[in-house]
Amino acid sequence: MSSVCVDLLNPIAMAGHQPVLLSEALAFLNPCSHTKLLDCTFGGGGHARSFLNAAPGTTVTALDCDPEASSRAVALEAEFGPRFRFQDLNFGQLDRLEESGFGCVLFDLGLSSFQLDVAERGFSFRLEGPADMRLDPRVGQSASEFLEKAPKEEIVRAIRNFGEEKRWRRVVGAILSARGTGVLSNTSRLAALIASVAGNRPPRTTRIHPATKSFQGIRLAVNRELENLEFALPIAFAKLAPGGVMVVISFHSLEDRLVKRFFRRMAGKAEHSGDSLPEQLRHRRANLPMNRPIRPGEEEVARNPRSRSARLRALQKLEIESNGIEV
């Protein structure tokens, strides 16, 4: 894959959110002349704006399910006119997007700083606020409603499976015991509760706050983040034009595993070491330009510590499927 046509990768002075792995993403997306990008996670528009600035005639269709993102999109609509279009849509409903034939698709998963840094959104255990954690507060259950009402198995799934919290039994027990007390409705009190049972780790593992993993697991459960991604990846791939490129930046090992397996499947490779599907049943529909994900360098992590867990993977759709069928 070639490099970006026009180098305009200056990390824009975006108040609030610094786009992660920007130059690396643009190098794969390669925005030349009339390339059409589907940005499934608009956020603050950092990646979208750089794509539009990189070459004349590029166009972006951007989605985000957070209603706050729509107001940020207005600035790009004013600046780029018909080259930029925003749709208030969860990529878990990507089948509702009619447009297709994109040269590139981007998913930059997780949260933007606009969401993390606002106490009222309830994502951060460092800020006192309502334990909400919804990407789209117009729908579904808030985190506190989920923790108060969900069956125990769903709480276990959030804390053990999604949060990968080793002390999940203690955390789940503490959550269930705190039901009805008001503790589960407030980020600081919820974080203190979790820390009281998951804290006191050996020194090597105490660098992160003891509520980090549980908060992440609860957020993934409340927003059905893995389910939405699993649903969206094949639809996004179908919306790629032949030869088009998909880039996914993930921040969680479970998201990355989903992406890795989907990309390997599209490339006609075994999805994991236990995948025994016979070779003749595999269809190669894409090229995998790399085996390992790209991680941010030391300089980016120093400048933007939130980038530290980012992993970028890319996939290029074949012009023609390996069995001769046009993709």
Ligand X SMILES: C[S@@+](CC[C@H](N)C(=O)[O-])C[C@H]1O[C@@H](n2cnc3c(N)ncnc32)[C@H](O)[C@@H]1O
- Residues in contact with ligand X by the rule CB under 6 A: 17, 19, 41, 43-47, 63-66, 69, 90-92, 108, 110-112, 135, 228
Instruction: Please identify, using beta-carbon distances, which residue of 28 and 91 lies nearer to ligand X.
Output: 91
Residues forming beta bridges with residue 88, ordered by sequence position:
64
Min separation Cβ 63 and ligand X, Å: 5
Min separation Cβ 101 and ligand X, Å: 21
Q: In the complex, which residue's CB is closest to ligand X?
A: 43
Contacts with 20 (C-beta within 8 Å, 6 or more apart), sequence order:
108, 249, 296, 300, 304, 306, 307, 310
Strands 240-250 and 102-108, how do they pair? parallel
Q: Label residue 268 left, alpha or beta by phi (over 0 means left) and psi (-120 to 50 means alpha).
A: left
Min separation Cβ 66 and ligand X, Å: 4
Contact (Cβ atoms closer than 8 angstroms) between residue 77 and residue 86: yes
Distance CA 54, CA 6 (A): 5
Min separation Cβ 88 and ligand X, Å: 9
Instruction: Please identify, using beta-carbon distances, which residue of 110 and 244 lies nearer to ligand X.
Output: 110
Min separation Cβ 199 and ligand X, Å: 28
Instruction: Please identify, using beta-carbon distances, which residue of 25 and 211 lies nearer to ligand X.
Output: 25
Contact (Cβ atoms closer than 8 angstroms) between residue 88 and residue 225: no
Min separation Cβ 196 and ligand X, Å: 30
Instruction: Please identify, using beta-carbon distances, which residue of 227 and 275 lies nearer to ligand X.
Output: 227
Distance CA 85, CA 73 (A): 8
Instruction: Please identify, using beta-carbon distances, which residue of 67 and 182 lies nearer to ligand X.
Output: 67
Min separation Cβ 44 and ligand X, Å: 3
Min separation Cβ 73 and ligand X, Å: 11
Count of beta carbons in the 10 Å neighbourhood of residue 180: 8
Instruction: Please identify, using beta-carbon distances, which residue of 78 and 281 lies nearer to ligand X.
Output: 78
Instruction: Please identify, using beta-carbon distances, which residue of 121 and 285 lies nearer to ligand X.
Output: 121
Q: Does an H or E element contain 170, and which?
A: helix 168-177
Instruction: Please identify, using beta-carbon distances, which residue of 15 and 281 lies nearer to ligand X.
Output: 15
Q: Give the burial string for 207-234 (b: 16+ CB within 10 Å, else e).
A: eebbbbbbbbbbbbbbbebbebbbbbbe
Contacts with 238 (C-beta within 8 Å, 6 or more apart), sequence order:
100
User: Sheet holding 240-250: strands in order across?
Assistant: 84-88, 59-64, 36-39, 102-108, 240-250, 311-317, 286-287
What is the residue whose two structure tokens read 């921040």?
251
